[in-house]
Structure 1
Amino acid sequence: MPQQQTSGPEQGQRFDWWAAAPATAPVPDRPAAAPAAPVEPAPALVPPAASVPARPVPARPVPAHPVPVRPAPTEPDRAGSRSTVVYRSVQGSDAFQEIRRSYRSFVFPTSGAFLGWYLMYVAAQAGAPGLMRSQVAGPVNVAWLLGLLQFASTFLLTWLYARNARTKRDRAALDLRWDTQDQLR
């Protein structure tokens, strides 16, 4: 079977396949189009003072499935529903604030230490390439060693976070959740 020849861009030309005009094929559901009317030559430039009739603005189409309109809030909704009141009281409770304080006291310093450790690694790569190339053992140099320690520290911090959450926050958060669900019943 002979290969089909395709035309491509000539040398020095750029071809964007997504910008190429699509090939037109007859649509089987439609009748053939009537022959095109002869093309009239373009009119001469009209001076700006001449009046040009304005084109009518097409009306906006009406959607097939109108979007339901939400009714205006009633007085009890404006004051706050029962669940809103319960959740706001839980948010202001000492138990919730203690859970948040425990979370922040672990996450913020740990994230800062890890970010500092990562930036130290990048700065050492850029600022002390000779130090980073020094051999530690066989083909392993300081850069490889510090890079592998980045992975090890990520796994260590993940384990520490899970242990901290399990021992300090999960029980208190679960108790608070059950209390909240009881208040909503």
Structure 2
Amino acid sequence: MSQHHPPHGGYAPPPPTEYEPAGSQAIHDDPEFHSLRRAYRSFGAVAALLSVGGFLSYVLLSSFAPALMNQELFGRITLGLALGLVQFLVMAVATWCYVRHMRERVDPLVLRLRAQQREQERAQEEQQARVAAGRRFRAW
């Protein structure tokens, strides 16, 4: 019988397809990994709330306060047009803040964690090579 079709009509779980690198559990338990996740989440939550809040307020003002949005600021420029153009500025500032945050807080943590992961994998490979070499020349 095939390992994919167990007897009695039951279904076997699919074979594992994901590769989990050696030492990945150690990385997940590392305090730096937790601070990396916090850095991603905290910035993402604040940026999303501010951006979506700005866009939503613009849409709501446009829908429910047309008289306010049609007020002329100077010449033919209205408050609604000015606020619409400010949305581009908001996105540019959000992008700049994201890049700066990643470069200053996240990238150094990622580089340290990658170096630790590579060192652990290298140590495991060396240990496996020593064990394999010991088996190769073993007496009967």
Tell me the distance in 2 between the aligned counterparts of 1:124 and 1:82: 50
Aligned-residue offset at 1:82? 7.6
4+ residue segments displaced more than 2 Å: none
Letter matched to residue 43 of structure 2: F
The alignment status of 1:97 with 2:44, answered yes or no, reads: no
Distance 1:163 1:120, change over 3 A: same
* Pair 1:127-2:27 in alignment: no
Q: Which amino acid aligns with 1:151?
A: F
* Larger Rg belongs to: 1
Question: What corresponds to 1:50 in structure 2?
Answer: none
How many residues are matched?
109
Give the aligned partner of residue 23 of structure 2. Answer: 86
Of 158, 173, 176, the match for 2:95: 158
For residue 80 of structure 2, what is the aligned residue in structure 1?
143
2: distance between equivalents of 1:139 and 1:91? 57
* Alpha-carbon distance change, 70 to 95 in structure 1, aligned in 2, over 3 angstroms: farther
1:95-150: CA deviations, max 9, x gaps? 10011111211110121111111100000000000111110111110111000000
Residue number in structure 2 paired with 1:181: 118
Q: Residues of 2 paired with 1:114 and 1:82: CA distance? A: 36
Verify: 1:107 aligned to 2:14, yes or no.
Answer: no
Which amino acid is 2:80 matched to? A
CA-atom RMSD in angstroms: 2.3
Q: Deviations over 1:54-99 (max 9, x none)?
A: xxxxxxxxxxxxxxx999xxxxx98xx882x511221121110011
Provide the C-alpha distance between the structure 1 equivalents of 2:53 and 2:20, rounded to a whole number of angstroms: 45
Summarize the Cα distance change of 1:144–1:70 in structure 2 as closer, same or farther, 3 Å threshold: farther
Distance 1:142 1:93, change over 3 A: same
- Quickly say closer, same or farther: Cα 1:136–1:164, change in 2 above 3 A: same
TM-score scaled to structure 1, two decimals?
0.54
For 1:121, the aligned partner's letter is Y
Give the letter for the 2:36 counterpart: I
Distance 1:82 1:164, change over 3 A: closer
Identity of aligned residues (%): 29
Matches within 5 A, 1:37-52: none
- Counterpart of 1:171 in structure 2 is 108
Q: Unpaired runs of 5+ in structure 2?
A: 5-14, 123-140
